[in-house]
Chains A and B, each alone.
Chain A
Amino acid sequence: MTHLKKYWPLHLMVLPSLLFLIAFSYLPMAGIVMAFQDFKPRLGIGGSKWVGLDNFRFLFEREDSMQVIWNTVVIAVLKLFFNLVAPFTFAIFLNEVRKDLFKRYVQTMVYLPHFLSWVILGGILLNVLSTDGGFINRILESIGIGPIFFLGDGNWFRVTVIVSDVWKEFGYGAIVFLAALANINPALYEAAEVDGASRLKQTLHITIPSIMPITIVVGTLALGNVLNAGFDQIFNLYNGLVYDKGDILDTFVYRIGILGGNMGFATAIGLFKSVISMVLIFVSYRIAYKWANYRIF
């Protein structure tokens, strides 16, 4: 009681957020029991038939869902890789720029796409990648290539998705590297200078090792996204022609569960994704904490 007397204002401050979390985060978690049911909205959770692990068995037996899992992992892993390498490289090159004004100009330009939604960028991409006289295909044709079906051919679709995602995010992703680069002790470079090291040698032996720890942290934390291939992007770019190579877990869940009404199965797929992602996140934070003493909360 004395605890409450002293601390009630602190509890009261969290309370509103807590209520929202209960309603919109924890209540849906209770709904995952649908994953173990042949759920019928008409009958509700109480009336629907329990089917044990059948929905999960379907997930691994159906050819389409296995293909979807594979698509998800391929797209997500390639994105993780290039979204680490591209910002890293970009940050190192930008760090060599001595003119502050030019540096700021470049930063302003490359951070921008991150803040535009995939609806806007999807609309732009549909327009410029169109085979019917789209901007990019016109350029390609003028040098004798194409037209390329960027969004109509499965393999090109994957390439388009990965390239456009890296294009959108590399600038923003570089911020954390640029911050680390700015924190390198200048005395290191001065000493190397005295010893006659070239700039390339300085980059290889001072710059890159100095930002390695943060690179490991960023790379490790990204592991939680191995099943996150980017719903917003895929949903706004894909079409029936590329389902075989471009359909991912999240878009599959939407089509099967919300549009198709197969809610038990869709819940099971969602649960499969959530559990694996959660395990990966815990493992990656554990590793980041051990190796780099990184802590978020």
Chain B
Amino acid sequence: MYHKTLSYRVFTVFNTIGLLLLSIACIIPLVHVLAVSFSAKSAADANLVNLWPVQFTLEAYKKTIDNPIFLHSLWVSVKRTVLGTSLTLLLAFMAAYPLAKENSEFKGRTIYSWIFVFAMVFNGGLVPFYMVIQKLHLMGSFWALVLPGAVNIYLTILMMNFFRGIPKELQEAAMIDGAGHFRTLFRIFLPVSMPAIATLGLFSIVFHWNSWFDGLLYTNSSNQYPLATFLQTVIIQRDLTSMSLDPASMALISQKTVNAAQIFIGAMPVLLVYPFLQKFFVKGLVLGSVKE
């Protein structure tokens, strides 16, 4: 038994320590930011904060919540995530049903699958896309954040692969009982697909919540930004015009701590869905990538 040999035991000790350090390395930057966000301005500005708050205060969070532009961007993000995810799920759920048929069962399937695959592997590039958004009069509209990404081809394929795993007998039984395709989809497939839909939904939520570039491209002013775009402009581009800070309050709080608080609030929804996501995504990923 190799488990008992001395060299394997020594290896196990080093392996455990190595993996422990690696796992810490993955979250330590987030912990640091969290510590900064709860620290006092003076400590943060003097770079005294490491992994634990210095002179604990909620000042940065208060300041963040008091900023109406921040709150509004939070609302835009929630709206786009809810609407976008619902639309993506509905579209993927419906399209996956015919796509899951065999080519011989449904003659149109071949052409449809090529239309989906081609759109996945080829695109017109940024500029033509931008022009289309303009021509469709979506520029500056909230819907520019929802409609262009509504069809998620990757998630549609995952859904399709899930449908293919549903026993044929279930579907045949429904057909024999006189149910049409729509009835079969919504009465038979929907209930058994709930775990798959939950998985895709979580992926879609994370995708929408994290999207920032569309907000930068298609909205005209900072009060239309979703949160991710707001954070991008304030923290990355250091554009402080949307911070609504007057000089007096600027002196009281530190940009460092407020940034840290904003980063953490921006990451929070993802951190919240993450435990559920983790339970599902291994299955979802394997579902889509490895097939016999």
Contacts and interface: CB of A to CB of B under 8 A. Distances in A.
Are A and B co-members of a single complex? yes
Interface of A: 3, 7, 9-11, 13-14, 16-18, 20-21, 23-32, 34, 90, 93-94, 96-98, 102, 105-113, 115-117, 119-128, 133-135, 138, 167, 171, 175-176, 179-180, 193, 198-199, 202, 214, 224, 231-232, 235-236, 250, 253-254, 257-258, 263, 266-267, 269-271, 273-275, 277-278, 281-282, 294-297
A193 B1 CA distance: 7
A179 B112 CA distance: 31
B29 A115 contact: no
A127 B119 contact: no
Contacts of B290: 176, 179-180, 214
B132 A127 contact: no
B126 A112 contact: no
Contacts of B119: 21, 25-26
A270 B125 contact: yes
A120 B266 contact: yes
Contacts of A266: 125-127
B18 A28 contact: no
Given A32-B125, A116-B270, A269-B125, 5 more contacts: A24-B132, A109-B23, A121-B29, A267-B127, A297-B113
Contacts of A126: 235-236
Interface centre among A107, A108, A273, A277 (most CB of B within 10 A): A108
Nearest to A214: B290
A156 B122 CA distance: 33
Interface centre among B30, B94, B112, B236 (most CB of A within 10 A): B236
Nearest to B46: A133
B206 interface: yes
Contacts of B123: 25, 28-29, 274
A152 B17 CA distance: 33
A87 to B, nearest CB: 12
B12 A253 contact: no
B198 interface: no
Interface string B98-136: 110100001110001101110101111111111110001
Interface string B251-275: 0000010011011001100110011
A180 B285 CA distance: 12
B97 interface: yes
Nearest to B98: A10
A135 B52 CA distance: 13
A212 B38 CA distance: 47
A25 B116 CA distance: 10
B200 interface: no
A127 B124 contact: no
Contacts of A282: 121
